[in-house]
Structure 1
């Protein structure tokens, strides 16, 4: 529910009253000595946009001053009927309210970059320690949600300054995050906090963030959808912020760590994951806002896109849009290539393990690192985790998998097979399953 205060000149008093009477809105009007009037009236949340549109269509938006606050209790003759009339509508914010909310949620730039710095360092520590709780904590303090949703909102609300500032803030923030994670990784590596010879590829929480996948992209799109829905309604935005940060902060930390460990191909893969996620969040939010009825004002008013942009900001807006278009197309092509490579790898692993010689092996997982656009001198790393019930070595398995994948995918790969020991002991009424860790690893000679 909303309580509105509308201050209007006396000559517009009848126009305001006529609109409110047409919608059966209960109101109180107070005349002032300065030749003006002050209207007080409550509205259901879903009714705010139609009333403001009526003011705008009547030319009153330039003549009246409007203030909206949240109402806790309303008891007027017609309010119950109004609430029932609009009960079937999604209780979304009006464009003016959404604009104000997005602006209010913007962090001061000092706190934004400080929050980004602290959250990515916490995430990098959590990745190296293999501690999900620390990574979750880093997501809670991350400030990325405000800038991630401001860009699509700025496009639809016609606030091009908000749009350009948001894109710049996202880019600079992610740059700061990557550099901070890289510096942190370099310090902890060369001061002996973690073993200098540690391979980040085999740190589980890092390894899963070294390349974009179809599922990671889907998760980022859902984060954008949920974020847009949460910000356009009166739902809590705290958990939404965590979901959006989950797609951004750990990926930025993984990129920085790959740089610190001097693994360019892994750094490119993690950076591609980061770009895909942030673009997917923005696109998901934009599509959701459009689906909820937040059409661009220039389209609603039969204007032109060019005229909706202030002449002094057209260069900045067009340049930003061009960068986003190139980034979207480029990351789309690279991600599609990597997803196709992952599917080819999974298919070959499944086909190989279906052979009778490997009937005692059960596939636990396949992890594919980013391998570039095609055949390269630096091989793409593929890690296959299998469970075995005996101590059979299967020393030929990595080489066989490597040959199969290289022939089918037409690219250079290095395969590592990790074994977990498992077995089941069945008694009369009980069963016991055991697994042995850590994984013994067997690598193909090609990458040794």
Structure 2
């Protein structure tokens, strides 16, 4: 339930009461003692779905816009009449005015926003370097990215240019700050005793996960956008949804920053593409769902303008996502190709170990050097095979060529193969 309180300007009391009667809601009138601007306070208990129709009727009836109308959430209402009101005003979404107010509250002051963002990025960067998923998820609780992501979309659908502009600015500058923070931390830590000598970020699984994203990564962003709108519109679970949105944005932004610090252009491009496509997808989903939920500007003459703004942004976002998806699709295909080659090599080596032709030789994959960039530049996969043999056994003179031909037949790819032979004795 909501409690709507209208501070009635002098001469407008009959107008407010007639509106309440026409809307079919209960009300109570209190005498107002003030500087002379207001003559009464009208309190109206209503379900959430009735707030917007009631406020719209007040505006349509000509209530002075200089008056105060306060909407508060009622923790508990003890009355059988509440059930009747809920039956008359069915619905679960909050009013346009509450939506606009909540979106503005979710986007904190700039100083608070950037402090929390730098802290969350620093924690996430540490989690990436430590390969700690728990640390990364913990950092997401601090990240304040949900507010700007949703306030930008809310501003468009309700025709609040200032709110929309602020949401976009905070998102863009926030991502830039996150990348710069991670790059600075990486530059400071690189070569120190806090990281192993020769530490390479591309070998860390948590980093590699953000540099080899697949098209399936879109589901996180799209799902986060849907959950964000639902939590905002229905006023539930915004903290957990904020974590989901932050997971889609902060870790890949931090990964891009680490790529800058370590001088890995591939890391910067792939992680940067992931964070951009996630950001755009969240905004696209939020825009469409808010409009489909029925939110419009309160002035009917501004609805066409808001729709035009919505349409142009949706087109721009769809085009940008489509272009970035080509990059994401390319990464997905390249990752599949490298994984397929490695899988085929491993499978063939196991088959060669069981093949009587090779007597008691045992074949093991030691390294496969085949990177994403090699798929598109024509780079040849380099394979090192470790072969165990009983002491005294001799391999054929062209043994390395035999191994290479078997592996090339299995993978369908030209390979550069190095064979390391080890005399092995095994005890009972």
2:146 aligns with: 145
1:269 to 1:29, Cα distance in 2 relative to 1, 3 A: same
Deviations 1:190-245 (A, max 9, x none): 22311241222221111000143222111111011101111122213111111111
Counterpart mapping for 1:163-312 below 5 A: 163-295=164-296, 301=301, 303-305=303-305
- Does the 8 Å CA contact 2:117/2:174 hold for their aligned counterparts? yes
Correspondence list, 1:377-392, <5 A: none
Note the aligned Cα RMSD (angstroms): 4.1
TM-score (norm 1): 0.74
CA–CA distance in structure 1, aligned partners of residues 181 and 333 of structure 2? 32
Match of 1:9 in 2: 9
Gaps spanning 5+ residues in structure 1: where? 310-317, 384-389, 408-412, 416-448
Counterpart residue number, 1:49: 52
The answer to whether the aligner puts 1:330 opposite 2:323 as a matched pair is yes
Larger radius of gyration: 2
| Contact kept in structure 1, 2:157 and 2:306, CA below 8 Å | no
Gaps of 5+ in 2: 355-362, 390-399, 418-428
Distance 2:121 2:147 in 1: 17
| Secondary structure at the counterpart of residue 277 of structure 2 | helix
1:67 to 70, 81, 106: 70
- SS of equivalent to 2:84: helix
Partner of 2:392: none
Alignment of 1:125-144 (within 5 A): 125-144=126-145
For the structure 1 residues 376 and 55, does the alpha-carbon distance in structure 2 shift closer, same or farther, using more than 3 Å as the test?
farther
Instruction: Please give the secondary structure, in 1, of the residue aligned with 2:75.
Output: coil
C-alpha change, 1:64 and 1:108, in structure 2 (3 Å) is closer
Q: Relative to structure 1, is the Cα distance of residues 239 and 82 closer, same or farther in structure 2, using a 3 angstrom cutoff?
A: same
Check conservation: 1:369, 1:382, Cα contact below 8 A: no
Alpha-carbon distance between aligned partners in 1 of 2:51 and 2:113, rounded to the nearest angstrom: 32
- Write the distance in 2 (CA, Å) between the matches of 1:382 and 1:19: 79
Residue of structure 1 in register with 2:25 after alignment:
25
Higher helix share: 2
Residue aligning to 1:434: none
Q: Offset of 1:152 from its aligned partner?
A: 0.9
TM-score of the pair, normalised by structure 2: 0.77
Range with greater deviation from structure 2 (20-29 or 240-249): 20-29
Change (3 A) 1:224 1:239: same
Equivalents in 2 of 1:211, 1:162: separation in Å?
35
CA distance in 2, matches of 1:260, 1:66: 52
- Mapped contact 2:257–2:268 kept (Cα < 8 A): yes
The answer as to whether partners of 2:25 and 2:46 remain within 8 angstroms in 1 is yes
Distance 1:398 1:324 in 2: 48
Q: Deviation at 1:121?
A: 1.3
Is 1:124 the counterpart of 2:125? The answer is yes
Matches within 5 A, 1:362-441: 371=373, 375-376=376-377, 396=404, 400=408, 404=412
| Residue pairs, 1:83-162, within 5 angstroms | 83-87=86-90, 89-90=91-92, 92-162=93-163
For residues 261-309 of structure 1, give each alpha carbon's deviation from its aligned partner in whole angstroms, at most 9, with x where no partner exists. 11111211111111111111111222221232224567x5475428998
Deviates more, 1:9-18 or 1:230-239: 9-18
Instruction: Tell me how far apart the structure 2 counterparts of residues 124 and 352 of structure 1 sit (CA, whole Å).
Output: 34
* Cα drift, residue 151 of structure 1: 1.1
In 2, the alpha carbon distance for the partners of 1:401 and 1:111 equals 60
Contact 2:297–2:306 (8 Å) recurs in 1: no
Aligned-residue offset at 1:163: 1.4
- CA separation in 1, counterparts of 2:294 and 2:337? 41
Residues 338 and 372 in structure 2, CA contact (< 8 A), matched pair in contact too: no
Residues of 2 paired with 1:397 and 1:84: CA distance?
A: 76
Map 1:342-361 onto structure 2 (within 5 A).
342=335, 357=351
